[in-house]
């Protein structure tokens, strides 16, 4: 019996990967330099609001420092990768050099006040134009062994992670919504809370997310915000939730399933600009490259404050300038 001939291996479609070049390198280079300017992170407005003016009827010593002062100090800690004691010494020397009539909070004050600090991650108003929001999450290590030790010898101690959920404006690169949860919280559970962080007046034209958000609760949250285009790829072999013979309105998710069956998954992603979702992964990469992949605080609330301050600092860096890349022919 003649053996069947060996089939030639299929070549990957799509050809060569596109190359990109930064067209505004001079401006972007200056933005990168300005990230290291201490005066950028300690604005004059912050120094003017350094002392607390809060009046309280509670017994005990009143607050000596405003939330602005605590937020500024903790932001410096994250940007320059300092411990709490180093933050106190660093800020003390900076205020002295600025000849500011202000004292630096001590490390214990920073630790205690961080737990109740209300952090607003947005540093500039959301664009008045309809937004394209890309959503994703990433894990940040709380404690445990390093990757090198685990790779070489395996793990011997339990490693614990927390999750950072981000909603990014596709046009500006700003993180417009963010939250921190435990590792047990699924991605799909947080889409609704992320959307709730945006004002009701903000129009969301499109939301792009990966298959982890292919849940009924996610589509319900997006339909509640009247999102026009929902770019969430259904799982392979997905079935229609509401068939066409139903008298009710067709579901956006079912329309995606029908479109994929008609033109294919790859063509559907191109038609709905799903590739722009990679900007959320780029934001995660920037986040971990700048601030690291772990947290130093140990309590849940302090960890949440630490991670949200990193998101706010990332947004401040975005205001300085972002690279403008164009495809090279």
pLDDT one-digit tens code per residue, 90-100: 999 999 998 98
Model confidence at 246, in pLDDT bands (50, 70, 90)?
confident
pLDDT at 11: 47
Model confidence at 10, in pLDDT bands (50, 70, 90)?
very low
Q: Which of 35-39, 43-47, 286-290, 310-314 has the lowest mean pLDDT?
A: 43-47
pLDDT one-digit tens code per residue, 259-271: 999 999 999 999 9
Domain spans, the chain: 25-114, 131-294
Starting from the edge strand earliest in sequence, which strands make up the sheet with 160-169, in order? 175-182, 160-169, 131-143, 204-208, 229-231
- Select from 3.40.50, 3.40.390, 1.10.1740, 3.30.420 the CATH code of 131-294: 3.30.420
pLDDT at 9: 44
pLDDT one-digit tens code per residue, 303-323: 999 999 999 999 999 999 999
How far, in Å, CA of 169 to CA of 204, rounded?
10
Model confidence at 147, in pLDDT bands (50, 70, 90)?
low
Kind of pairing between the strands at 204-208 and 131-143 = parallel
Average pLDDT estimate for 224-253: 88
> What pTM, to 2 d.p., does this model score?
0.88
End-to-end CA distance of the chain: 52
State the Cα angle at 280 between 161 and 303, rounded to 5°: 30
The residue with greater pLDDT, 53 or 224, is 224
pLDDT at 154: 72
pLDDT at 145: 61
The residue with greater pLDDT, 149 or 80, is 80
């Amino acid at each position: 019996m003649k053996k069947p001939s060996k089939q030639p291996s299929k070549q990957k479609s799509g050809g060569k990967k596109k190359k990109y070049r930064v067209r505004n390198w001079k401006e972007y280079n200056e933005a990168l330099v300005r990230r290291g300017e201490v005066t950028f992170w300690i604005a004059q407005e912050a120094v003017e609001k350094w002392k607390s003016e809060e009046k309280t009827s509670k017994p005990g010593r009143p607050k000596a420092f405003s939330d602005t002062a605590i937020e500024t100090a903790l932001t410096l800690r994250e940007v320059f990768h300092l411990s709490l004691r180093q933050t106190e010494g660093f800020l003390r020397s900076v205020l002295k050099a600025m000849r500011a009539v202000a004292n630096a909070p001590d490390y214990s004050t920073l630790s205690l006040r961080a737990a109740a600090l209300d952090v607003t991650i947005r540093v500039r108003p959301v664009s008045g134009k309809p937004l394209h929001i890309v959503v994703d999450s990433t894990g940040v290590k709380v404690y445990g062994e390093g990757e090198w030790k685990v790779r070489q010898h395996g793990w011997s101690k339990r490693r614990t992670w927390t999750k950072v959920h981000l909603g990014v404006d596709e046009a500006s690169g700003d993180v417009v919504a963010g939250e921190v949860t435990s590792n047990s919280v699924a991605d799909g559970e947080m889409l609704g809370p992320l959307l709730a962080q945006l004002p009701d007046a903000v129009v969301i034209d499109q939301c792009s997310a990966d298959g982890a958000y292919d849940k009924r609760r996610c589509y319900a949250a997006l339909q509640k915000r009247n999102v026009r285009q929902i770019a969430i790829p259904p799982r392979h072999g997905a079935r229609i939730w509401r068939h066409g013979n139903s008298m009710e309105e067709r579901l956006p998710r079912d329309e995606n399933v029908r479109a994929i069956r008609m033109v294919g998954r790859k063509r559907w992603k191109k038609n709905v600009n799903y590739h722009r979702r990679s900007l959320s992964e780029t934001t995660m990469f920037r986040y971990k490259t700048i601030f690291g992949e772990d947290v130093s605080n140990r309590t849940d609330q302090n960890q949440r404050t630490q991670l949200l301050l990193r998101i706010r600092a990332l947004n401040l860096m975005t205001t300085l300038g972002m690279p403008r890349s164009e495809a090279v022919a």
